[in-house]
Amino acid sequence: MVFTAAQKSAAPAAGTRAPDQGVPSGAELPGAINELRRQRKAVILAHYYQDDAIQDIADFIGDSLELSRKAAATEAEVIVFCGVHFMAETAKILSPDKTVLLPDLEAGCSLADACPADAFAAFRAEHPDHLVVSYINCSAAVKAQSDLICTSSNAVDLVRQLPADRPILFAPDQNLGRWVQNQSGRELTLWPGSCQVHETFSEQALLQLQLDHPDAEVLAHPECQQHLLDLADFIGSTSKLLHRAEASDADGFIVLTEPGILHQMRQRVPHKPFYAVPGADGCSCNACPYMRLNTLEKLWRCLVTNEPRIEMDEELRLRALAPIETMLAMSR
Ligand code: 13P
Ligand code: SF4
């Protein structure tokens, strides 16, 4: 590994928080990241909710399911996961021999936080005969207590495949769970969690956008609340929303999910308008505060320092791996 003098002096001592010094400026930053990525034999994976600049430099952009497949298949030595903690943790579970870096270790997820492992264990104990299906937006400790992991992309399909005579617990997102229940016809016992971002969209603003753009199609992520999903023309994971925008004849699109996805939508469908639904009172709380902690500067820094790394106890990893492998085997 070869670093420049500026990079060496920028590397923080272990356990300390680095001042943002030594970062190449503006136009030099993408080139510096490219050079480090080559030296480290790293792959940069990014979720659609990342800042535009991170999406533009990533080797691969995808939804949770696609990113976990990439993490399982990559031959790179280092995975830089530009997303949130549970996504990077899933990459580590699938690729234990690789170094997995998350540019900002504070990039958590309100939904994963809404399901503490010990409370979830008590909930499971109340329903001993149930199959446990957990959305991938949960900690490794919750995954380890699950029979099957799903993402918003495959949840309906997977639940439909489960034995009809077994009751099902679904955690941690109640909005997604309700939608899966409606689509699959299976009754689910729901853990009462939700995403702070997808709970924030303003119905009034959505109705106004529909009045202003009557020919636009409403695209919604299933983490949205039921009263908003009732107004949607198409519901799906981030990748499915993107593919719908590409395939649809509609003149424009009103988008009910984190607005990071609009960057890819506008690139792939440049001749049509896209409208992001704001949060209540027009706040910008429709942007995921956790996803947005990652920046191009932190991406550069983690390639310089090889930190922060995702580490995991091997016994926990193996227990969390089993339901993820079941998901990958059942996903078409
Ligand atoms: P996707 O699986 O659709 O990418 O969603 C992940 C997520 O965190 C949505 O809030
Ligand atoms: Fe978690 Fe919501 Fe952010 Fe997705 S948008 S990562 S569910 S907090």
> pLDDT tens digit string along 140-169?
999 999 999 999 999 999 999 999 999 999
Which residues have CB under 6 Å of ligand 2?
84, 109-111, 137, 195-198, 223, 258, 288, 290-291
223 lines ligand 1 (CB under 6 A): yes
pLDDT at 234: 98
> pLDDT tens digit string along 63-113?
998 999 999 999 999 999 999 999 999 999 999 999 999 999 999 999 999
pLDDT at 25: 85
Mutation test of ligand 1: which of 137, 150, 243, 265 has the most ligand atoms closer than 8 Å to its C-beta? 137
137 lines ligand 1 (CB under 6 A): yes
Name the residue with the closest Cα to ligand 1, atom 3. 237
Kindly state the average pLDDT of the residues 279-298.
91
> Which of 196, 221, 245 finishes a domain?
196
Q: Establish if 226 belongs to a structural domain.
A: yes
Nearest ligand to residue 67 Cα: 1
Name the residue with the closest Cα to ligand 2, atom 2. 195
Q: Establish if 320 belongs to a structural domain.
A: no
Q: Are residues 178 and 266 in the same domain?
A: no
- Inform me whether the pLDDT recorded for 19 exceeds 60: no
pLDDT at 17: 42
pLDDT at 281: 75
Name the residue with the closest Cα to ligand 2, atom 3. 288
> pLDDT tens digit string along 186-221?
999 999 999 999 999 999 999 999 999 999 999 999
Determine the length of the chain: 332
Kindly state the average pLDDT of the residues 222-234.
97
Q: Establish if 18 belongs to a structural domain.
A: yes
Cα 255 to Cα 278: distance, rounded to the nearest angstrom: 10
**C-alpha pair distances (Å), 228 with each of 69, 195, 234, 237, 289:** 30, 14, 11, 15, 21
Q: Establish if 319 belongs to a structural domain.
A: no
pLDDT at 21: 67
pLDDT at 285: 84
Q: Are residues 117 and 44 in the same domain?
A: no
In sequence order, what DSSP letters do the residues of 154-200 get, joined into one string?
Answer: THHHHHHHS-TTS-EEEESBHHHHHHHHHHH---EEEP-B--TTTT-
Query: What is the Å distance from ligand 1's center to 243 Cα?
Result: 15
Q: Are residues 251 and 295 in the same domain?
A: no
195 lines ligand 1 (CB under 6 A): yes
> Which of 174, 196, 218 finishes a domain?
196
Query: What is the Å distance from ligand 1's center to 323 Cα?
Result: 18
Query: What is the Å distance from ligand 1's center to 62 Cα?
Result: 9
- Inform me whether the pLDDT recorded for 16 exceeds 80: no
Nearest ligand to residue 239 Cα: 1
Q: Establish if 136 belongs to a structural domain.
A: yes
Q: Are residues 117 and 175 in the same domain?
A: yes
If one counts the domains in the chain, the total is 3
What is the chain's mean pLDDT, rounded?
93
63 lines ligand 1 (CB under 6 A): yes
151 lines ligand 1 (CB under 6 A): yes
Q: Are residues 84 and 155 in the same domain?
A: no
Q: Is the pTM of this model over 0.85?
A: yes
- Is residue 298 within 8 A of residue 57, CB to CB? The reply is no
- Inform me whether the pLDDT recorded for 56 exceeds 50: yes
184 lines ligand 1 (CB under 6 A): no
CATH number of the domain to which 223 belongs: 3.40.50.10800
Query: What is the Å distance from ligand 1's center to 177 Cα?
Result: 14
Q: Establish if 321 belongs to a structural domain.
A: no
Query: What is the Å distance from ligand 2's center to 53 Cα?
Result: 19
Query: What is the Å distance from ligand 2's center to 61 Cα?
Result: 16
Q: Are residues 80 and 38 in the same domain?
A: yes
End-to-end CA distance of the chain: 40
The owner of tokens 């016809």 is 185
Q: Establish if 322 belongs to a structural domain.
A: no
- Inform me whether the pLDDT recorded for 332 exceeds 90: no
Q: Establish if 329 belongs to a structural domain.
A: no
Q: Are residues 23 and 64 in the same domain?
A: yes
**Domain range enclosing 19:** 5-108+291-313
Cα 20 to Cα 27: distance, rounded to the nearest angstrom: 17
Burial of 179 (0-12, 13-18, 19+ CB in 10 A): buried
